[in-house]
Structure 1
Amino acid sequence: HGDHAQNRWFDTCLQFIVANSGRAGLNGEHTPCDAMIPSRLFHHIVEQEHATDPLVSARHDGYPLLPRLEAPQPLTFRTDAAIDALIADAQREADRAIAGVEVAMLETHVYGARYMKEVAKTSPDSFVQMALQLAYYRLHGAPTAVYETAATRGFAHGRTETGRSLSSESLDFCAAFDNDDVSYEVKRDLLREAVAAHQQWMREAGAGHGSDRHFLGLAEMRRPDEPVPELLAQPVFARSKTFHLSTSNVSPGRAGYSGFGPGTADGYGCNYAIDTDAIRISISANRASRVAQPYRYGDELVRALKDLMILFAKPSEVWGKDWKTRHQQDRTHARDAAVMADLNRDYMRLESKLSEKYRRVER
């Protein structure tokens, strides 16, 4: 969030945040676009723009020499007392909001998309969704409505629809998984049924057959002086859209983590990226909640992922097949990381020398 949310701008959709250590991030304003678009953009940049020192790039695989850029100049704003007071109020509110959210960052190398596709023979997204539900069921002893972002970009001006991940099939799977009287074969069948139901729900939502945006439109059409329609006032309707699990898939997410806040006071915001042999997840929750426990939920999620392996064999040929071809990109990442580490060490040494020089001048 920066220093007290300073130097963060929301009058533009995307803000690239680049530190002098070589690390970078992206701050997104959600109104004009959805997470997958900037996620794909950022992933493409990281994949194509290799880490090099622009002054000595010729020594690193012959990348072309980059021109020296002018140093950025700070913007000077003219304000008055009233604007200064509003800025101070906004900063206090931002600090309060930041301090009120707790985030657990999780990276597990238990397995990734390769295992889910080639061994479990399932959709990676559906597989992770079932793990998310199993972890929640174990921790809280009951299911909850689950929101997953379903893209409707196949339509003109399409944005999103609610993918309702919880189903009768997924509840049956979660309820049976820790029952020792249920065989592994039955549990595996229940998982496959839950995955099939999830994929069907997501296909229908993406094809414009979801219900949540339709009801939202009807609710927004109601004038303030009109009574709330009976259906929209039903407690079961309100409960059905109280998503204590709000989730979004931004795979592959190799550049790092992404995240968002919880959708309810006692819920979790789960942003996940499924890589070839890893899963990265950020889990947010409100600190004031006496129900949500992001770190414990993260532990339960890792346990659920490990336990799901029991249902499937792991043929050795899957892990050895085409290893060199499959992991060529991983070697590129490792090389770029090493170059960036060298650049970072050079920068830190230079910074230390400059600091010592200024201290001598001050004395």
Structure 2
Amino acid sequence: MALPPLPVPSLETLRAALPPSLAPFTAPSALESLVAELASPKTADALEPLFRFLYARAESTAATSAAASAATADAATSDADADAGHVAVDPCSSCESWLSAWWLDAAYLAFRAPLVVNSNYAFVFDVPLTDGPYRRAAALMLATRDLARGWHEDKVIPGENGSNCTAAYPRLFNSCRLPAPGSDVLHAASTALYHVVVWAHGHPYVVELGRDGGDVASLASTLVAVVDDAAARTDTAGLGVLCALPRDEWLEASTIVDADGYRVLQDALFELVLEADAPAAGAHAELVASALTTTDGWLDKTLSWLVYANGALALNGEHSGVDGMPMLLVTRAAVARALESEASAADPQAVAPPFARLDLVGAAAESLAARTASARAWLDTYLAASLDVAVLRFDEFGKDHIKAVARISPDAFCQAAIQAAYYALHGTAAPTYESVTTRRFAAGRTETLRAASPQMVAFVESLVRGDATPDELEAKARTAAEQHSALARAAASGAGVDRLLLGLQRAGAALELSLPHALVCDATAAASTWALSTSQVTDPVASAAFGPVVDRGFGVCYGVRRSGLVFNITSQGSARGSDAPSAAAFASSLDAMLQRVWAVFARDDAKL
């Protein structure tokens, strides 16, 4: 089923949506001037050629995508006729939108800061710990391989029903980001390959899984042999730390990487890192921090599984090609299958798959030790300055109670508490980014929900200051929640502000035209400086995390489970300064504000 093209938001949408998002952070007189400028015929005249450019681009990309999709379907039909078999077609395999290439470049590939903390994200999984990692790792490898084969051959992903764009999946498997001048390149193999790169003690190995078959016990024995071999090596380990350098420095350092070995790594189905550490049960922040900052593998690989010595599971995801939800659908299915099969009886006929050392440095091995030592020293200092992690597991209520008692959107409830936590610590509201999926459209990815609406800020201020009666406070809360839901619907329908602003900037650059002052003024820039960067990723087993996006800001990824809430919180480390609240301070404030927001709605029984 072909999905509709991503729409270009209109000038009317921009005029209606931008000023309210600036209001909490802009002086009234400046806001009045900005509104007048946006409404003026002069601004409409200045924007008219830019919108015309965007509409033409949207029409062109839609037509090109439709033609490419039809050609793919015709080729698949011919192949099926020739083979008297079934060839699945992904309707999104060739889809593009007016935005997709610009967003890929601006948000990811042109980003020159280190991927670690700043771009890559992490998932951690609530799984029972074991007395060793090998069977779990083997089961996970086979389960992920089977899911990849299901995509390659049948275009099937558990949880996908055809209503969302699937363009991310060809970028999830057999893919890798490559450093390049100015803007990186996203590489994806042109055919399905079923080898996996396994890292142990900082050394890479290749394990060929094959298209199907395989036995957990025999593959586990291969992984044991990999670890034994790696432990006995004396050559320099830890080449992957170079991927954590700023992108231009990594580009320069990448000249030492052997081309043949590098291509094997790029084309690998995914990679799996056998981590030597064993985070204790309940050490949630430790596991999140490890998953966000690991350099024991290759940060440029799209999917890097992390299996710890006690069976703890996490992953590190390179963000440029794949957002959180497609990654979640694949990996939660893989984890579920792995947990079911990890204790399966050994097949006496199975043969342990061979492994081979992967040479990534070749003749440059002599210079590797100095390069990795220098990169490691830099990274240790950088991470100490750049990342602080706290986890709040809130078990007093969850989605079911919020919907039954508060009768508002659970997402709006969580956003109210998050923004109140920030207000309580800083005495002011924060520009707040919340990602909303636009995958209902061809090549759709995300749009920004500017969650610090005037209605939400008014509620948060009254909640923290205590200057409203209970009835007034509940009325403000419901108004804020209703507005939040309306903004979420608008963003999901492609009627947001931020991707349009990017498009207008790119159109202006192409036409050599300047944008109106209202779109580039200090007020607009300040309200787009996301002191709170947030996203909801809800799953019974998995939770996600990412770093803060501005100095002294916070990254808050949260899950709304049926009977509890999970918040993975990040802030800068020492770079935030001694006067700025830590991630732990934010978690403590958030815990208190969840209780206070709950009390607004459950006045007769504030405690469950």
TM-score (norm 1): 0.76
Specify which of 491, 494, 507 is matched with residue 205 of structure 1. 491
**Contact preservation (8 Å) 1:10, 1:29:** yes
Specify which of 266, 286, 303 is matched with residue 552 of structure 2. 266
**Contact preservation (8 Å) 1:54, 1:66:** no
**Contact preservation (8 Å) 1:248, 1:271:** yes
What SS does the aligned partner of 2:544 have?
coil
Structure 1 residues 19 and 227: alpha-carbon distance in aligned structure 2, compared to 1, 3 A threshold: same
Specify which of 126, 131, 135 is matched with residue 421 of structure 2. 135
- Between the aligned partners of 1:129 and 1:75, the Cα distance in structure 2 is 46
Greater CA drift, 9-18 or 24-33: 9-18
Which residue in 2 is equivalent to 1:8? 297
Which residue in 1 is equivalent to 2:279? none
Specify which of 366, 386, 391 is matched with residue 105 of structure 1. 391
Task: After TM superposition, list the pairs within 5 Å mapping 1:146-165 onto structure 2.
Answer: 146-165=432-451
What SS does the aligned partner of 2:322 have?
coil
- Between the aligned partners of 2:348 and 2:537, the Cα distance in structure 1 is 33
What SS does the aligned partner of 2:568 have?
strand
Deviations, residues 197-256 of structure 1 (Å, cap 9, x unaligned): 01111111111111111111232445599686433441101101011000010002523x
Structure 1 residues 67 and 7: alpha-carbon distance in aligned structure 2, compared to 1, 3 A threshold: farther
Structure 1 residues 65 and 162: alpha-carbon distance in aligned structure 2, compared to 1, 3 A threshold: farther
Deviations, residues 95-136 of structure 1 (Å, cap 9, x unaligned): 333222111112111211111111211111111011101111
Which residue in 2 is equivalent to 1:76? 359
Are residues 1:304 and 2:589 paired?
no
- Between the aligned partners of 2:353 and 2:547, the Cα distance in structure 1 is 37
Specify which of 539, 543, 546 is matched with residue 252 of structure 1. 539
Structure 1 residues 314 and 93: alpha-carbon distance in aligned structure 2, compared to 1, 3 A threshold: same
Are residues 1:238 and 2:511 paired?
no
Q: What is the Cα deviation at residue 79 of structure 1?
A: 4.3
- Between the aligned partners of 1:210 and 1:50, the Cα distance in structure 2 is 40
How many residues are paired up?
A: 310
Are residues 1:118 and 2:404 paired?
yes
- Between the aligned partners of 1:79 and 1:93, the Cα distance in structure 2 is 25
Which residue in 2 is equivalent to 1:286? 572
5+ residue gaps, structure 1, are 58-63, 320-363
Structure 1 residues 18 and 315: alpha-carbon distance in aligned structure 2, compared to 1, 3 A threshold: farther
**Contact preservation (8 Å) 1:4, 1:91:** no
Give % identity: 28
Q: What is the Cα deviation at residue 39 of structure 1?
A: 2.0
5+ residue gaps, structure 2, are 1-289
Specify which of 170, 177, 180 is matched with residue 456 of structure 2. 170
Structure 1 residues 79 and 271: alpha-carbon distance in aligned structure 2, compared to 1, 3 A threshold: farther
Which residue in 1 is equivalent to 2:380? 95
Are residues 1:26 and 2:315 paired?
yes
Aligned-partner residue type, residue 381 of structure 2: R
Deviations, residues 266-298 of structure 1 (Å, cap 9, x unaligned): 100101111111111111111211334211111
Structure 1 residues 68 and 138: alpha-carbon distance in aligned structure 2, compared to 1, 3 A threshold: farther
Aligned-partner residue type, residue 392 of structure 2: L
Which residue in 1 is equivalent to 2:332? 43
Aligned-partner residue type, residue 140 of structure 1: H
Q: What is the Cα deviation at residue 31 of structure 1?
A: 0.1
Deviations, residues 287-344 of structure 1 (Å, cap 9, x unaligned): 211334211111110001111221233999xx9xxxxxxxxxxxxxxxxxxxxxxxxx
Aligned-partner residue type, residue 552 of structure 2: D
Aligned-partner residue type, residue 588 of structure 2: D
Which residue in 2 is equivalent to 1:351? none
Which residue in 2 is equivalent to 1:214? 500
Q: What is the Cα deviation at residue 94 of structure 1?
A: 3.3
Aligned-partner residue type, residue 422 of structure 2: Y
Structure 1 residues 24 and 68: alpha-carbon distance in aligned structure 2, compared to 1, 3 A threshold: farther
- Between the aligned partners of 2:568 and 2:395, the Cα distance in structure 1 is 15
What SS does the aligned partner of 2:566 have?
strand
TM-score (norm 2): 0.47
Aligned-partner residue type, residue 99 of structure 1: A
**Contact preservation (8 Å) 1:109, 1:278:** yes
Structure 1 residues 241 and 204: alpha-carbon distance in aligned structure 2, compared to 1, 3 A threshold: same
Aligned-partner residue type, residue 380 of structure 2: D
